[in-house]
Amino acid sequence: MTRVEVTVTIERPPEEVFAFIADFEKNSLWQAGVQKAWFTSNGPFGVGSTYTQLSRFLGRDIEFHFEVVRFEPNKVVEFKTTSGTFPVHIVRAVEAVPEGSRVQAVIEGEASGLFKLAAPLLDRITQRQIEADYARLKTLLESQPA
């Protein structure tokens, strides 16, 4: 089981940061390897909303299907895969701090098949990639006009 925790402070209002990270169709703007993401459910965003994400990891295209399992507007969005090569569970939380917003992410996943054999190496690669993704998120949001 891989578990990655990342915290980043972004100099933007919490509502703005949360709206961006909860709009999964924007994942390709800040997450390396994400080629495209699209909502597969209709209606207002919340618990039960679904989306699909096409990612490239270690030279392979992988399609993930996700469902939102917890949603607290402007605070927490939690989602998990419903199918795909790697079962993944993600919590993204945003809180107000004097500098703007603190984003905390916890990502848990379990490799399967051949990927399971390389789990220790994959854990290190995943940690570095996710840290870089959240640094990219910070740079992207802080470069937006106020």
Q: Percentage of residues in the chain with pLDDT exceeding 70?
A: 88
Give dist(CA 41, CA 44) in Å, integer. 9
Q: Do residues 35 and 28 make contact, with C-beta atoms less than 8 angstroms apart? A: yes
pLDDT tens per residue, range 34-53: 999 999 999 889 999 999 99
Q: Which has the closest alpha carbon to 131: 105, 92, 111, 110?
A: 105
Domains observed in the chain: 2-142 (3.30.530.20)
Could you tell me the pTM of the whole model?
0.88
Confidence category of residue 57, pLDDT binned at 50, 70, 90: confident
Is the pLDDT reported for residue 114 higher than 60?
no
| Averaged pLDDT of the chain | 89
